Structure 1
Amino acid sequence: MVFLNMIPRTLSILSSSLVRSPGLIVVSNSIISRNHLNKFLYSTTPSIDKLKLQQEIVLDAAEEKQMAQEVIEQVNSQIERNEQGRLFAIIHILGRQTKVTPDDIIIVDSNSFAPLNGDKIKFEKVLLVGGADFTLVGRPLLTPGLVNVTGTIIEKDLSHTRTNFRKIPRKRHMRFRFFRTQLTMIRINEIEIKEKVAQRKDVEGGDRLIS
């Protein structure tokens, strides 16, 4: 009884809109049972666990630069000792991105792909290359000369017959069209990292490709 008499005085002193007590909760000068307000409180107030997950550790600029330099040195060490493992790459060819590894066979579906059987080609537009412990990502392409991805044309053939049907309603117009596209099969010969990472050149920027 004494506690209830003290609530209005406490509200007038603190001027708060929410005061919690062991058995009651006072909201806007009205007494409501705790059970009826639990759902509202816990639905609007984030939990401590969620707040912990939202925390972000901001590193000092010097520490971040030092960490980046250590990672670059480890990557360059693996490249120098040829310990990067089996490499994979993502190449850009005829408007499509394709993931490849050595000895893969990829099929290019296009009538305008010029190379003939037996021709060796080098893929200049490499978006990404990775090994067992690291991955190099371009923005959007890796620097030309950093990675060497080559392939050989092993076969050129036609696809299965495809059907195109066109109908114009109320015009008595119906047409069937049968066509086949040219398929080119390419075997990936080699994926190799030719240079160390983050090595400055005397002249930069003149060898960039536009995708």
Structure 2
Amino acid sequence: MIEVEKKFPVTDRDDLLQRLNALGSISGEVEQHSDTYYQHPSRDFAQTQEALRIRRVDGVASVTYKGRRYVQADSSLKARQELEWCLGSDDHDGANMDQLLIALGFTMVATVNKLRQSFHWATGEWSDFSVTLDEVAAVGLFAEIELLVRDESQIAESTQRIAALTDALGLCQPETRSYLRMTLEQQSLNSPSS
């Protein structure tokens, strides 16, 4: 699958929640996410715009690989292949996967912690969308609009649909940086040598 998403800083949580409610969204429970990102031993993921992480959601681990971005006219839109799988019960916290990645030469870059609440629609024009409200530690509050498509030919249409939902939710000024990049920038600002 290809994940197509756009992210926005949120200045008024209550307004966004009211708009989501008015559009008939269904809210999920708030989850604690802890995403540990890794650097490939011979390829610079920052340059290739790829990502490999172990995600722990309320203590249950999965692995995610995000491929290179598909080039889009709208540079604030991210479209790329996403592969994700849950780790088995013998590695529910991801410790074994962490050891495997380190043994293979990967290095840990940073861990991004956030509280996430997801919203979706059971039916209607937004039923294939998800919206997440992310409170990212030391970084801020953001909303992500996400749509999964089967192939690259569907990306252009999804761009228009994301723009329509963005307008309906009153979101503006998209954020192009990843949570990882913002976290690393914040850590750099807070380091003693800054």
Q: Report which of the two has the higher share of helix.
A: 2
**TM-score of the pair, normalised by structure 1:** 0.21
Question: Which protein, 1 or 2, shows the higher relative CO under an 8 Å CA cutoff with sep ≥ 6?
Answer: 2
Question: What's the TM-score, normalizing by structure 2?
Answer: 0.23
Which structure: larger Rg? 1
More strand by share: 2
